[in-house]
């Protein structure tokens, strides 16, 4: 039933908004909380097939976003990746970097130290 309702609303108005790489379609991606309550099981079962998150409104204003766990994991991964990349770029700008010779030199010292400790314990 909910899919039919979404289809009817989509035919009535086709407003779309660009968010990052995706296009939010108000007729299909925004629903009032009453509709979510009435069709909760069907909506939750269909989350994996949705290409975009679902925005839930309360009194006409956005109140929540509902998405599949897979979509959430992807969003979370992208956020962590961008944060790590930004930290790395900040390190480069601040001069907190090492060249390959320095890194391999430290690794060799550490390995030699571990070998030396092992040979003394035998």
**Residue 62: strand, helix, or coil:** strand
Q: For the whole model, what pTM was predicted?
A: 0.60
Those residues whose C-beta lies under 8 Å from the C-beta of residue 29, and which sit 6 or more positions away, are 52, 53, 54, 55
Is pLDDT above 80 for 2? Answer: no
Phi, psi of 88 (to 5 degrees): -65, -40
In the chain, what are the domain boundaries?
2-67, 71-121
pLDDT bin (cut points 50, 70, 90) of residue 7 is very low
Q: pLDDT tens, 8-20?
A: 444 444 465 565 5
Q: Report the CATH fold assignment for 2-67.
A: YefM-like fold (3.40.1620)
74-98 pLDDT per residue, tens: 999 999 999 999 999 999 999 999 9
The residues, ordered by sequence, that sit 6+ positions from 36 with a Cβ below 8 Å of its Cβ are: 43, 56, 66
Which percentage of the chain shows pLDDT scores above 70? 80
Could you give the CA distance from residue 24 to residue 46 in angstroms, rounded to a whole number?
17
């Amino acid at each position: 039933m909910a899919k039919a309702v979404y289809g009817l609303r989509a035919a009535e108005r086709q407003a779309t908004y660009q968010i990052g790489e995706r296009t939010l379609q108000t007729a299909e991606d925004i629903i009032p909380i009453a509709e979510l309550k009435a069709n909760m099981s069907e909506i939750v079962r269909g989350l994996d097939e949705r290409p975009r998150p679902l925005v839930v409104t309360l009194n006409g204003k956005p109140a929540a976003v509902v998405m599949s766990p897979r979509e959430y994991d992807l969003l979370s991964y992208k956020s962590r990746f961008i944060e790590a990349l930004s930290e790395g770029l900040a390190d480069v700008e601040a001069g907190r970097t090492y060249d390959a010779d320095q890194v391999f030199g430290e690794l060799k010292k550490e390995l030699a130290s571990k070998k030396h400790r092992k040979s003394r314990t035998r």
